[in-house]
Structure 1
Amino acid sequence: MNAISLDATDCRILTVLQHEGRISNLDLAERISLSPSACLRRLRLLEEQGVIERYRACLNREVLGFELEAFVQVSMRNDHENWHERFAEALRDWPEVIGAFVVTGETHYLLRVLAHNLKHYSDFVLGRLYKAPGVMDIRSNIVLQTLKEDSGVPVSLVTSPKVQQPG
């Protein structure tokens, strides 16, 4: 892995961008007390180094009709050939699954699922998830209230001048 040096200015740029991805370079430069040209150079370098992967919009789920969110633990039967690959391939075609993680513990996977309502969720679980190759057990946790949600990286915790870059 190659090391990337991030200074306090880089961290300020990243913090602002995580909250305001559409901010203009001029406004960003003013906010972090840099000239627009210096700010743009740093921004381009952060993009080239892979620190900034992409820009995206955050959508309001409820406005779009997604009233139910669930975290689903999935346990697999290990005796099925290529069970992991087959499950990973199947879940790519499920738009309801907005996050999928291989985890430690009693289950193999943790899925984050959005659905319009309980019927939509039930149809997804019974019609697709339970029918996926190798699925042995499913445990659902329906979200009642979100206390904190931030998909960003805690830039304030970057204490070392060196950050590891994949490579």
Structure 2
Amino acid sequence: MLDSTDLRLLAVLQKDAHLTAQELSEMLNLSPSQAGRRRQRLEAEGYISSYVARLDPERLGLAIQAFVQVQLGTHGSDQARAFAELIGSRSEITSAWTLTGEADYLLRVYCADLAALHALIHEVLLPHPTVTRVQSQIVMDQFKQDGPLPTAIF
């Protein structure tokens, strides 16, 4: 069970995962050892799954961000597994979701240019034997960055 201090700890770590136990203790009115133990417990219990660096795609030459909807022709476990393996093998696909509705999957992709996006769709996704339809939307502007999970609602 999470208490209000745990929730505050999770909220501040989502904004800055580099905070030291000393800095956390000052923000949470705890001793540094208590703050460190709470962080370790939240990690051990799986509330904190990882720490990552958020990179700037444009500085890395990834000028195109797109969402790609994929519809499969058949929906057996073998087909789903084969498609998941394909998705897992492609670094330009940064996240993937299964959906309800017309599309079976939603993929978030980053590519260097339109030619790379075209190649991903026409040379990788569409030739896959389970794929029957692909629809893409190119992101023109991302005015709100991926944000932290809301901890205030728990």
- Cα root mean square deviation, aligned: 1.5
Over 3 Å counting, the alpha-carbon distance change for 1:80 and 1:18 in structure 2 is closer
Which residue is 1:161 aligned to?
Answer: none
Secondary structure of the equivalent of 2:110? strand
Which residue is 1:87 aligned to?
Answer: 83
The offset of 1:50, in angstroms, is 0.9
Select the residue among 44, 53, 60 that pairs with 1:64: 60
Secondary structure of the equivalent of 1:156? coil
Q: Deviations over 1:82-141 (max 9, x none)?
A: 221111111111111001111000011110011011111111111111112211000101
Which residue is 2:49 aligned to?
Answer: 53
Q: How does 1:71-110 map to 2 (within 5 A)?
A: 71-78=67-74, 82-110=78-106
Cα distance in 1 for residues equivalent to 2:142 and 2:19 = 27
Secondary structure of the equivalent of 1:157? coil
Cα distance in 1 for residues equivalent to 2:94 and 2:3 = 33
Secondary structure of the equivalent of 2:152? helix
Secondary structure of the equivalent of 1:147? coil
Whether the 8 Å contact between 1:71 and 1:113 is mirrored in structure 2 is yes
Which residue is 1:146 aligned to?
Answer: 142
Matched length: 154
Amino acid at match of 2:15: H
Cα distance in 1 for residues equivalent to 2:77 and 2:63 = 36
Over 3 Å counting, the alpha-carbon distance change for 1:48 and 1:81 in structure 2 is closer
Give the TM-score normalised by the residue count of structure 1: 0.87
Secondary structure of the equivalent of 2:70? strand
Q: Structure 1 residue runs of 4+, over 2 Å off?
A: 79-82, 149-152
In structure 2, stretches of 5+ residues that fail to align are none
Amino acid at match of 2:81: E
The offset of 1:13, in angstroms, is 0.5
Cα distance in 2 for residues equivalent to 1:129 and 1:66 = 19
In structure 1, stretches of 5+ residues that fail to align are 159-167
Give the TM-score normalised by the residue count of structure 2: 0.94
